[in-house]
Structure 1
Amino acid sequence: MIRLSLVGGSHVFHGKFFGAILNGCGEGHAHGEWSVGANAQRIEGARIVKVWEPVRGQAEVYAKARQVDEVAGSLEECAEDVDGVLIPDDVSLSHQRWAPLFIERKLPLFIDKPLAPTHEQAAEVVALAVAAGCPIMSTSAIRFSKEVEEFLFRREETVGDIHSAFATAPNGRLVFYGIHAVELLATIMGTDVESVENHGSPLDHWVQLNYTDGRRAVVVVSQKMRQIGGVFYGTKGYEAFHTTDSGYYYRNQLLHFIEMVKTRKPPVPPEETLRIIDICATAEKALASGKAESLSGT
């Protein structure tokens, strides 16, 4: 049995979903606000055995709702007698602040998207992990969606070599939620972006990605959007899709993390994660400057 700690974010969507997939729902906690993930397929052989929150009461509620054995009294307790640690998004854009202790202990670590709100802060976390020899994983779950997997399988036959693309995400917050659309593009087209332009406005971003080989992609992150998806144009045709099965992609994301716990090999290189953060953060800079901005580099 893979034993995991969950640190922070227990009261937010991802933390609830992860707990439902790994532990199931406690009695009376498959409805209302705790219905998140209740119908998703369970993962056997791994379990959240400890939960910690800065506010202990939140951890106690989570432990009951997601059948967690122990409410830890400290981060140090969360690092004891476990095989890995989950740090879900807590909507603060600073959840990575809990990571250093676990990196020091070399515990395989999942840090929810975004790894950090800036490239510089994200690079600090990655540098700590590399220096310590600690495997870390930080991704959007969208790269593990059924639609992305199926598209990658048939892409050569239906689309061919991709030269242009269009990707969308709702919410309007570029680093916090636009990362889903950017990671969708990165999974399919890579991260070899040299500059970005932002022709939108706050909460309605229209971002052009300029790749070093001449390809172009547009990312729209807007309160007006309702779906995460993309359209890809290639030498043989085009294809459009949007992601729909959250139970599938969150479960698949967790399966990749569990495999990393076993092998200590990240499913996504930290350098790729840094590049994705860099693209998002540079797009915010481009909105402020009104001109094309080059990426910081990794």
Structure 2
Amino acid sequence: MSNLNRRKFIRTAVATGVGISILDTLSFAGVADGKRVGIIGLDTSHSTAFVKALNAATPDPVYDGYKVVAAYPYGSRDIESSTKRIPSYTEEVKKQGVEIVGSIKELLSKVDVVLLETNDGRLHLEQALEVLKAGKRVFIDKPVAASLSDAVAIYDAAKKYNIPIFSASSLRYIKGLEGMDKSKVLGADTFSPASLEKTHPDLFWYGVHGVETLYTVMGTGCKSVTRVSTPTTDIVVGVWADGRTGTFRGTRSGKGGYGGTVFTQDGNKTLGPYAGYEPLLVDIIKYFKTGQVPVTPEETIEIFAFMEAADESKRQGGKNVTLESVMAKVKKK
């Protein structure tokens, strides 16, 4: 519908008493080309948080008019903590003007960019491929995949289709990082909950949050890791090529939380508390607009190699495992 015809329709609708719900729907239909956002996966609270921010009655101008116009609900079909959320989250986003569609193909016909929010990382490669083949930019929420090999395959596909992709945990934006000179970082200890899910490697499901915080501070260059694992706690010690060390503590008992300590040439800095989803969403919108990714593929892949090496260390009873060795196994497949 052209802007002229749309204005005529609205005038007629108002004059004839057409319900406000129809006008609300039209407001989303009028989102500027290039700013129509689609969501894959309504099995995570991230989806509803993003819809609430982007589709607010008066959204923050920093989101530049991007709106969620359609969503495909699935999503995990066999992880109970995820599947049970889908019906209520579906109804919640419908109330905010989001159309529910029956397939990713249908979604892609209605949107310009995609938030891949499916909580189940096992589905991400298949789902991301559909989006990339359609030539659309896509943010992939944590975990980027449920295996190191799938993570590598996703970034290989992004290169093949010349579509840069962005993936990150919202813990990359934890309080305390503002203004930090990362060139002065000597080491860091981070922590986060690390609940386990049988369908995913140990740290991939939830420990990824604290590991990403560690990498946000330390940067790439980890060469090897050693892991101590008990039913309630994981401690992973990484040694970087320049001799610095970084540790991640994943907790499964007591009151969970997110944070850490950064050791710098100027003294120790405390990380925390958690900053919420908004800082991440700001970077997602910048990526949608420019195609520039704030986190490189190399860093994201190394984060997953770090976690895979940690799993291998656990399998070997706490032995030191190099990231090079786990990447070599992926390349052989």
Report the alpha carbon displacement of residue 266 of structure 1 after superposing the two structures with TM. Answer: 1.6
Match in the other structure for 1:228: 258
Unaligned runs of 5+ in 1: 26-38
Q: Match for 1:261: what amino acid?
A: F
The answer to whether the Cα contact below 8 Å between 1:11 and 1:62 also exists between their aligned partners in 2 is no
Unaligned runs of 5+ in 2: 1-31, 76-85, 197-202, 329-333
Q: RMSD in angstroms over aligned alpha carbons? A: 2.5
Q: Match for 1:168: what amino acid?
A: F
Q: Does 1:3 align with 2:36?
A: yes
The alignment's TM-score, normalised by the length of structure 1, stands at 0.83
Please give the alpha-carbon distance, in whole angstroms, between the structure 1 residues aligned to 2:62 and 2:97: 13
Report the alpha carbon displacement of residue 236 of structure 1 after superposing the two structures with TM. Answer: 2.6
Please give the alpha-carbon distance, in whole angstroms, between the structure 2 residues aligned to 1:6 and 1:154: 33
Report the alpha carbon displacement of residue 64 of structure 1 after superposing the two structures with TM. Answer: 2.2
Match in the other structure for 2:306: 279
Q: Match for 1:221: what amino acid?
A: G
Q: Does 1:204 align with 2:256?
A: no
The answer to whether the Cα contact below 8 Å between 1:169 and 1:221 also exists between their aligned partners in 2 is yes
User: Higher relative CO (CA 8 A, sep ≥ 6), structure 1 or 2?
Assistant: 1
Q: Match for 1:142: what amino acid?
A: L
Tell me which of 77, 83, 88 is aligned to 2:117: 88
Please give the alpha-carbon distance, in whole angstroms, between the structure 1 residues aligned to 2:285 and 2:52: 15
Match in the other structure for 2:101: 72
Listed as ranges, the matches of 1:1-298 within 5 Å are: 1=32, 2-8=35-41, 10-24=42-56, 43-54=63-74, 60-68=90-98, 70-90=99-119, 92-96=120-124, 97-148=126-177, 150=178, 153-155=179-181, 161-173=184-196, 174-224=203-253, 226-246=256-276, 250-290=277-317, 291-295=319-323, 296-297=326-327
Report the alpha carbon displacement of residue 43 of structure 1 after superposing the two structures with TM. Answer: 3.7
Number of residue pairs aligned between Structure 1 and Structure 2: 273
Report the alpha carbon displacement of residue 81 of structure 1 after superposing the two structures with TM. Answer: 3.8
Alpha-carbon displacement from aligned partner over 1:32-82 (angstroms, at most 9, x marks no partner): xxxxxxx999845111001112489667524324321x2222211111142
Q: Match for 1:98: what amino acid?
A: Q
Report the alpha carbon displacement of residue 269 of structure 1 after superposing the two structures with TM. Answer: 1.2
Rg larger for: 2
Please give the alpha-carbon distance, in whole angstroms, between the structure 2 residues aligned to 1:143 and 1:176: 16
Q: Match for 2:263: what amino acid?
A: Y
The answer to whether the Cα contact below 8 Å between 1:20 and 1:42 also exists between their aligned partners in 2 is no
Please give the alpha-carbon distance, in whole angstroms, between the structure 2 residues aligned to 1:264 and 1:199: 39
The answer to whether the Cα contact below 8 Å between 2:48 and 2:93 also exists between their aligned partners in 1 is no
- Seq. identity, %: 27
Q: Match for 1:7: what amino acid?
A: I
Please give the alpha-carbon distance, in whole angstroms, between the structure 2 residues aligned to 1:171 and 1:145: 17
Please give the alpha-carbon distance, in whole angstroms, between the structure 2 residues aligned to 1:240 and 1:278: 26
Q: Match for 2:311: what amino acid?
A: E
